[in-house]
């Protein structure tokens, strides 16, 4: 008796849906691609319950006659291609003929459509892929597809959907990317019957301002380059406006939204040192290339692509981006208050408010052997002739504070430059440990047994993280009132996250007051927040919290503490004074776990004198 049998179409469609329809955003993407392929110049997207209850796409495209409407929900039925050779000259977004079959098999699916030549439209209704109703219906030219109760008959898949905030965020990002890529189309979006946006004018810069706030477009670098192999046009964000995430990077190949690591890495490398650690530039780039040189049939989701010659694409792409960046002057303008301080000779604020670590009740101290080793480093002197200028520095002399702060020249300029009598200042034998800042990123410390290197960003993350945990758990007062409250307007998914963590934000030190629909006023912030960054810190924290929640299983309060410390810590590239470096190290060793950051990265690397001696062949 044969054991192998052909699967029924309904089962095959459900299996296929696992690849094509991964979440509500996948449905939205596939349906929008069909609307664009149909020639629509007006598209409306409506969702309820983050797409779990309802997804409706309305377009004014060409519509379908009855024969096509019945076939469009059949597997491998498509109007986009007729043979394999068509893949080499593909001009449409859809082509596989799987999307509607997959979507209809895992939902309550309804299609209304009418062509320009017909006076009466057609309505088809499916339940789990089975046609249950066919009728005539009045309506405008175009198609309306309604998807209800997604994954109702695949409970295992529905169970693995994320929170409404996460699913909504994915949908919004998809619709936003299409609205930016197709400015000739009028776009409108609703969520739970609330209009989120309505963009009509075919101006990409104006649309950027709609989605990212007023004057966002003024921070764009426009890019345009054409040759026989590749065309590149679009916009790059100036370094001053960058975020520490890669959500806002859009690459389109022949107007198809794609994900490609090579392109993303090439952009990151083109910016180089203009970006500090973990920053990602805003990218909205459109690449045009002969379709025969690109394979878009890599995965059913159609986000991945392959170039036939990736090296050639990179060799053309990278120099264009690099040149566009190099041609712009990124030097910041002094604000009036900053220039006033500069001209009056008054001291300016540090790059962050303070590195002092306020006392928290019941805090445990970790002044262990390494910390004692560090503190005793200045007292331990090797037996060397006193005629050596380097010996003079180690035996009780230190460089002036001016030189200690010149991190851009690196450690070599400090150790290799000759010392003269007027370059040194005598200090007591029991001076503070010697510290240097290397490239405004790492702190180099002499310790009794050798050398200690500290990553300043992750060290400050550890300090802020433990303080945030203790403040929230012990309800320690930690808020500093603002002289001028700051207004924040949240997007719906941001406001949902805010509502979830609102109580713990207050415990952390954020004094927030509701001010209208999805708008709040920041009236107080934790003491560690740098003045002028209150709004940015709160928005970045919410984005980081949501990102962590979608990827990691974290306790809510732990997630908030990680998000706060990551977004508020000093960054690589920020120059610190000698006192700030000392304060950071002392605070680090006052934490419970000074050797790793909240995300598990190492904070400290040690290099002993024995190891150095071996490296130099002394042993």
pLDDT value of position 296: 76
If you search the block for the tokens 């590149």, which residue do you land on? Answer: 232
- Cα distances from 209 to residues 203, 454, 460, 495, in angstroms, run 10, 40, 34, 20
What's the CATH number of domain 212-326, 3.90.1150.10, 3.30.230.10, 3.40.50.300, 3.40.50.2300? 3.30.230.10
pLDDT in tens, 275-298: 765 678 899 999 999 988 888 766
Q: Given pLDDT bands bounded at 50, 70 and 90, which one contains residue 428?
A: very low
- CATH architecture of the domain with range 9-202: 2-Layer Sandwich (3.30)
User: For residue 567, what pLDDT is reported?
Assistant: 87
pLDDT > 80? residue 376: no
Q: What is the pLDDT of residues 432-470, one digit of tens each?
A: 778 999 999 999 998 888 889 999 999 999 999 999 999
8 Å CB contact between 607 and 448: no
Low-confidence winner among 45-59, 107-121, 420-434, 520-534 (lowest mean pLDDT): 420-434
The 10s digit of each residue's pLDDT in 326-367 is 777 554 443 333 333 333 333 333 333 444 444 444 444 444
Task: State pLDDT tens for residues 533-582.
Answer: 899 899 989 998 988 887 777 788 999 999 999 888 998 888 999 999 99
Q: How many CA atoms lie within 13 A of 426 on its CB side?
A: 2
Q: What percent of the chain has pLDDT over 70?
A: 75
**What value does the mean pLDDT take over residues 491-496?**
88
> What is the predicted pLDDT for the residue at 395?
32
Q: What angle do CA 443, 445, 451 make, to 5 degrees?
A: 115
Strands 186-191 and 42-48: what pairing?
parallel
- State the pLDDT at residue 360: 47
pLDDT of residue 377: 65
Reported confidence tier of residue 251, pLDDT bands at 50, 70, 90:
very high
Stronger pLDDT, 532 or 302, i.e. the higher one: 532
What is the Cα–Cα distance from 482 to 156, expressed in whole angstroms? 49
What CATH number was assigned to the domain covering residues 369-457+575-615?
A: 3.30.1540.20
Dihedral of CA atoms 206, 210, 215, 220 in degrees, nearest 10, equals -60
Task: State the pLDDT confidence band at 238, using cuts at 50, 70 and 90.
Answer: confident
Query: 13 pLDDT exceeds 90?
Result: no
Confidence of residue 83 (pLDDT cuts 50, 70, 90): low
pLDDT above 70 for 420: no
- Select from 459, 427, 419 the least CA-distant residue to 576: 459
pLDDT of the residue at 276:
63
Q: Which of 30-44, 129-143, 390-404, 421-435 has the lowest mean pLDDT?
A: 390-404
Measured over the CA atoms of residue 194, residue 550, residue 241 and residue 249, the dihedral's sign is: negative
Whole-model pTM over 0.75? no
Q: So where are the chain's domains?
A: 9-202, 212-326, 369-457+575-615, 477-568
**Where residue 412 falls among pLDDT bands split at 50, 70, 90?**
very low
Q: How far is Cα 216 from Cα 207, in angstroms, rounded to an integer?
A: 10
Alpha carbon distance 253, 263 (integer Å):
11
Average pLDDT on 259-273 reads: 87
Instruction: Tell me the two tokens of residue 86.
Output: 């068509």
Q: Which of 120-124, 259-263, 369-373 has the lowest mean pLDDT?
A: 369-373
Dihedral sign for Cα atoms in the order 384, 388, 391, 392: positive
pLDDT of 608 > 50? The answer is: yes
Fold observed for domain 477-568: Ribosomal Protein S8; Chain: A, domain 1 (3.30.1370)
Average pLDDT, the chain: 80
Cβ 291 vs Cβ 89: under 8 Å: yes
């Amino acid at each position: 008796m044969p054991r192998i049998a052909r699967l029924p179409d309904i089962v095959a469609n459900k299996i296929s849906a696992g690849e094509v329809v991964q979440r509500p955003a996948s449905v939205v993407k596939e349906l929008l691609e069909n609307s664009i392929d149909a020639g629509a110049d007006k598209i409306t997207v409506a969702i309820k319950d983050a797409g779990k209850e309802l997804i409706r796409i309305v377009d004014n495209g060409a519509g379908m006659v009855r024969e096509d409407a019945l076939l469009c929900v059949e597997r491998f039925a498509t109007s986009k291609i007729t043979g394999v050779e068509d893949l080499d000259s593909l001009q449409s977004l859809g082509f596989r003929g799987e999307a509607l079959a997959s979507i209809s098999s895992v939902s309550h699916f309804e299609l209304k459509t009418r062509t320009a030549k017909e006076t009466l439209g057609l309505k088809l209704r499916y339940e789990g892929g089975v046609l249950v109703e066919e009728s005539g219906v009045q309506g405008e030219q175009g198609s309306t597809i309604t998807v209800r109760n997604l994954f109702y008959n695949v409970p295992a898949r529905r169970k693995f959907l994320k929170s409404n905030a996460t699913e909504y965020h994915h949908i919004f990002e998809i619709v936003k990317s299409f609205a930016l890529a197709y400015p000739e189309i009028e776009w409108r979006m609703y969520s739970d019957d609330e209009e989120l946006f309505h963009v009509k004018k075919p101006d990409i810069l104006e649309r950027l301002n709609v989605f990212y706030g007023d004057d966002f477009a003024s921070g764009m670098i426009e890019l345009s380059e054409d040759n026989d192999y590749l065309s590149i046009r679009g916009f790059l964000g100036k370094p001053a406006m960058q975020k520490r995430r890669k959500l806002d990077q859009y690459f389109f190949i022949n107007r198809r939204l794609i994900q490609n690591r090579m392109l993303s890495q090439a952009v990151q490398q083109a910016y180089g040192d203009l970006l500090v650690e973990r920053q990602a530039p805003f990218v909205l780039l459109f690449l045009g290339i002969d379709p025969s040189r690109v394979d878009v049939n890599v995965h059913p989701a159609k986000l991945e692509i392959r170039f036939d010659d990736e090296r050639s694409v990179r060799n053309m792409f990278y120099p264009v981006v690099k040149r566009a960046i190099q041609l712009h002057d990124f030097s910041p303008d002094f604000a009036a208050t900053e220039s006033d301080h500069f001209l009056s000779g008054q001291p300016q604020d540090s790059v962050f408010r303070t590195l002092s670590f306020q006392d928290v009740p019941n805090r445990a101290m970790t002044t262990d052997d390494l910390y004692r080793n560090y503190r005793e480093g200045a007292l331990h002197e090797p037996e060397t002739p006193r005629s050596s200028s380097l010996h003079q520095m180690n035996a009780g002399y230190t460089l002036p504070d001016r030189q200690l702060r010149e991190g851009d020249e690196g450690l070599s300029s400090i150790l290799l430059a000759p010392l003269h009598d007027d370059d040194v200042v005598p200090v007591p034998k029991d001076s503070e440990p010697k510290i240097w800042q290397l490239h405004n990123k790492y702190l180099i410390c002499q310790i009794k047994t050798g050398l200690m290197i500290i990553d300043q960003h992750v060290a400050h993350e550890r300090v802020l993280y433990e303080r945030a945990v203790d403040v929230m758990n012990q309800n320690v007062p930690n808020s500093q009132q603002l002289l001028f409250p700051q207004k924040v307007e949240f997007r719906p998914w941001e406001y949902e996250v805010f509502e979830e963590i609102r109580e713990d934000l207050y415990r952390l030190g954020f004094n927030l007051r509701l001010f209208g629909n999805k708008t709040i006023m920041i009236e107080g912030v934790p003491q560690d927040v740098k003045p002028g960054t209150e709004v940015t810190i709160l928005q970045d924290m919410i984005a980081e919290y949501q990102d962590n929640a979608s990827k990691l299983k974290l306790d809510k309060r732990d997630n908030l503490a990680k998000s706060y410390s990551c977004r508020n810590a000093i960054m690589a590239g920020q120059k610190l004074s000698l006192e700030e470096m000392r304060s950071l190290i002392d605070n680090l060793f006052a934490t419970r776990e000074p050797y790793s950051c909240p995300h598990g990265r190492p904070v400290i690397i040690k290099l002993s004198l024995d190891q150095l001696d071996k490296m130099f062949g002394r042993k």
